[in-house]
Amino acid sequence: MTDSQPRPGGFPRRTALRTLAVSALAAPIALSPLSRAVAAPAAAPLWHPNPATDGTKAFEGIEADRGHQHPGRKYVYVEGDHYRFDIWADDRDTTGGGDRQRTEVKGMVQNGTALKMRDGETWTISYEMYVPSTLHGTSKFTHIFQTKTPSTNGGPWVTLDLTRDGGTELIQARAYANPGSPSIASTRLAPLRDKWITVEWTLTPGSKGAAACVIRDGTGPGAPVAVQGSRTGVTIPDQGDYVRPKWGIYRSVQSAKTDIIDTHLLFRNFQAGRK
């Protein structure tokens, strides 16, 4: 997000009021550059972590290898200008009776304070993401973004999923807690792999909230839109607490073994703000 630029030029030329005694036009008023009107700067995002200085303190916590089965592995860490999330085929989470695996971070922390999305508020969240060819769409669930309510463990409410429709892999934003988990926006995954892409969310928590998602094929303000969509009546309640986003890889291992392989996911340029 950049600050607004000064408006070019100064005020227009003016003429003096005619009076009974004076009928000649007045000379133009001279203005110094400092007297020109300047637009107020745009508000900075509430959350804008820098991997180099904030590290994983940009999040409320990490959820990976919670059963301490692989103490020598690194799961979430800074790599250059981005965060890297690793997962292995033999990882298993402590939930689900061994049918799933998880490498995720949760929450948004800026200067030591957790940001909390509550009912009726509208939040924008954006980030850049790199999906490698080894991270597959699956027949069972694979969430790479989800929203939940911490105090109740309610949700996931809204998710970004890597799914499969026969032989076609999809990236799909979904109102996951609504009946049938309807799509908000969906497109083929293949053209968006092995490159940096941009994901932009607009979320309004509530029992009948709203969600919109834009996925851009590339980075920067001119990146073309690969897919976009929105829904109202979306189940995303704070349940008297708050809604917390999560990023990473959370997937069922009950999909085809050829889809559950060692892989990773990269994120950078996180930003979030409240409208």
Its CATH architecture, for the domain 51-274, is Sandwich (2.60)
Name 57's Cβ contacts closer than 8 Å, sequence gap at least 6: 109, 112
User: Could you tell me which of 71, 144, 132, 73 has the C-alpha nearest to residue 104?
Assistant: 144
Q: What is the chain's pLDDT, residue by residue, as a tens digit (275 residues)?
A: 433 333 333 333 333 333 333 333 333 333 333 333 334 445 689 999 999 999 999 999 999 999 999 999 999 999 999 999 999 999 999 999 999 999 999 999 999 999 999 999 999 999 999 999 999 999 999 999 999 999 999 999 999 999 999 999 999 999 999 999 999 999 999 999 999 999 999 999 999 999 999 999 999 989 999 999 999 999 999 999 999 999 999 999 999 999 999 999 999 999 999 99
Given this model, what pLDDT does residue 35 score?
Answer: 34
User: Could you tell me which of 164, 173, 148, 172 has the C-alpha nearest to residue 63?
Assistant: 148
Termini Cα distance of the chain: 14
